[in-house]
Amino acid sequence: PGSFLEFEALIAPLVADGYDVVVPSLPGYAFSGRPVFPIGPKQTAELMHGLMVELFGTRRYLVQGGDWGAAIGGWMAHAHPDAIAGLHLNMVLLQANDAVPKKPDEVAWAAKRAKLAKEETGCSQEQGTRPQTLGVAMSDSPVGVAAWILEKFGAWADVPRDAHNRPDLWQAFDEDLLLTNIMLYLVEGSFVTSTWMYRGRVLEGSGSFPAGTQITVPTGVAVFPDPVFPPPPRSQAEKTYDIVQWTEMPAGGHFAALEQPELLLADMRRFFASRSVSDDAPKRSIALRSAGIIAATLAAAAVYTRATTKWIEQDVPADGRFIDVAGARIHYVDRGAGPPIVLIHGLGAQLRNFSYGVADALADKYRVILVDRPGSGYSVSTGKQPGILGQSAIIASLIDTLALDRPPLLVGHSLGGAV
């Protein structure tokens, strides 16, 4: 019941490390297109590999995932082992059909998993057999969708509980983030198709790997104490995966990227930097497969990649110049001569909004400077996306750097006015 929002805290640190980061929504989820029929993790894995090939060509890449992301990542590693440099999981969801538990701890784990599956995964049965019935019923019920999703966060996450074992969600999660996650299902009308992954898994028989499967891609596992989907012993996981890193985590549950982002990030960094993953190639692209996403999507909801930026700049060249100020690469256009005017665009816009007529009309009498705000247009922030105060400081530094002969007139539209 998650979304690409789960990885929000991980993107900027990984970009700062020098990686190209892709956080896809899966087909039928959030802002992505809807499949015409239910598809499961095996077919979705082919779509995700196709996305990475389209973005990066033949470059090898890394995959990280939990929940459906772990299943999709597993099938990607199964089908395209030469394309994937490393597989990092925070949930071991798939195993080979013949990976039978034998040791005492393996048998105990299997019994516990079976008991919890019977008691806690009614949603899987419903969505795996009659997804449309549930989906249509929920499609116009905000309270129903909220209850369906939040119940999973309360049951599956490592959250504080009261004397009656009732979860306190708001101690573990940001209220705005959870509500935004719910609204992605409602506003985009994706709740119906978000249930199809379960049915697709049944139809394509992708709930486990074929007998004899051994995933040869180097695999790292961050083992969080998931209360409903308990992780297997390492010896059990090694029957299917080439485990090169296994980290037992002190806290966190099903939604690791949200619950314990620092622990997950540290483990990912250690794995990505390990000799088994990066010995034979430079830093590669990372495909972060959404942990906990139960819907599937084809297009990327958020793509942070320098390679893509280069392609876009070739097709739609920047109008002006670039300058590095205050930790940001700022794109600006400088036209005309006379008293300076700095034009700052609003939300969801860029400096071209002013170039359709306003800038040309002013340039006859004024020196007109159009600025792409940090994170908009062609301007890029090197670290965390700055807020209003941070953007104002960056633009002030730009003005200082340009050494204007007199204080400029500032013109701000929408959010640019606040800046």
Domain assignment present for 152: yes
Q: For residue 359, what pLDDT band results from cuts at 50, 70 and 90? A: confident
67 part of the active site: yes
Ranges of beta strands (E only) in 236-366 are: 241-248, 285-289, 300-304, 321-325, 328-335, 340-344
Range of the domain at 361: 318-418
Answer whether 153's CB lies under 8 Å from 173's CB.
yes
For residue 98, pLDDT beyond 80: yes
Instruction: Give me the number of domains the chain comprises.
Output: 2
Q: Are residues 374 and 256 in the same domain?
A: no
Residues 6+ apart with CB under 8 A from 139: 189, 191, 192
**What local confidence, expressed as pLDDT, does residue 280 receive?**
52
Q: For residue 176, what pLDDT band results from cuts at 50, 70 and 90? A: very high
Q: Are residues 274 and 324 in the same domain?
A: no
pTM over 0.85: no
Q: Which two tokens stand for residue 380?
A: 């890029």
Q: Are residues 300 and 413 in the same domain?
A: no
Q: Exactly one of 29, 61, 185, 198 is catalytic; which is it?
A: 198
**What local confidence, expressed as pLDDT, does residue 275 receive?**
84
For residue 399, pLDDT beyond 80: yes
356 part of the active site: no
Give the residue, 317 or 236, on which the prediction is more confident. 236
Considering 306, 340, 375, which residue would you say is the last residue of a domain? 306
Residues 6+ apart with CB under 8 A from 127: 134, 195, 197, 198, 199, 294
**Is the backbone of residue 78 left (phi > 0), alpha (psi -120 to 50) or beta?**
alpha
CATH number at residue 137: 3.40.50.1820
Q: Are residues 265 and 324 in the same domain?
A: no
Domain assignment present for 199: yes
For residue 296, pLDDT beyond 80: no
Phi, psi of 61 (to 5 degrees): -140, 165
Q: Are residues 125 and 217 in the same domain?
A: yes
Question: What is the rounded average pLDDT of the residues 112-131?
Answer: 81
**What local confidence, expressed as pLDDT, does residue 291 receive?**
38
Q: Are residues 280 and 407 in the same domain?
A: no
**What local confidence, expressed as pLDDT, does residue 290 receive?**
42
By the 10 Å C-beta count (0-12 exposed, 13-18 middle, 19+ buried), 394 is classed as buried
For residue 289, pLDDT beyond 80: no
Considering 276, 306, 336, which residue would you say is the last residue of a domain? 306
As a whole number, the mean pLDDT across the chain is 87
For residue 311, pLDDT beyond 70: no
Lowest mean pLDDT among 29-38, 45-54, 183-192, 310-319: 310-319
Domain assignment present for 69: yes
**What local confidence, expressed as pLDDT, does residue 316 receive?**
65
Q: What letter represents residue 23's amino acid? A: V
Question: What is the rounded average pLDDT of the residues 110-121?
Answer: 88
Neighbours of 42 (CB within 10 A): 22
Q: Are residues 20 and 155 in the same domain?
A: yes
pLDDT in tens, 208-253: 999 999 999 999 999 999 999 999 999 999 999 999 999 999 999 9
**What local confidence, expressed as pLDDT, does residue 128 receive?**
74
For residue 302, pLDDT beyond 60: no
For residue 156, pLDDT beyond 60: yes
**What local confidence, expressed as pLDDT, does residue 112 receive?**
94
Percent of the chain with pLDDT over 70: 90
Domain assignment present for 270: yes
Please tell me the distance from the alpha carbon of residue 410 to that of residue 400, in angstroms, as a whole number: 14
Q: Exactly one of 19, 20, 67, 241 is catalytic; which is it?
A: 67
Neighbours of 82 (CB within 10 A): 9
**What local confidence, expressed as pLDDT, does residue 310 receive?**
54
Question: What is the rounded average pLDDT of the residues 48-52?
Answer: 95
Percent of the chain with pLDDT over 90: 54
Please tell me the distance from the alpha carbon of residue 327 to that of residue 380, in angstroms, as a whole number: 9
Considering 306, 334, 368, which residue would you say is the last residue of a domain? 306
Q: Are residues 367 and 292 in the same domain?
A: no
Domain assignment present for 313: no
Domain assignment present for 96: yes
Determine the 3-state secondary structure of 89 from DSSP.
Answer: strand
pLDDT in tens, 62-94: 999 999 999 999 999 999 999 999 999 999 999
Domain assignment present for 80: yes
Q: Exactly one of 88, 254, 331, 345 is catalytic; which is it?
A: 254
Q: Are residues 233 and 342 in the same domain?
A: no
Domain assignment present for 119: yes
Q: Are residues 209 and 73 in the same domain?
A: yes
Give the residue, 38 or 349, on which the prediction is more confident. 38
Q: For residue 404, what pLDDT band results from cuts at 50, 70 and 90? A: confident
334 part of the active site: no
Please tell me the distance from the alpha carbon of residue 390 to that of residue 406, in angstroms, as a whole number: 23
Q: Are residues 249 and 380 in the same domain?
A: no
Q: Are residues 267 and 340 in the same domain?
A: no
Q: For residue 287, what pLDDT band results from cuts at 50, 70 and 90? A: low
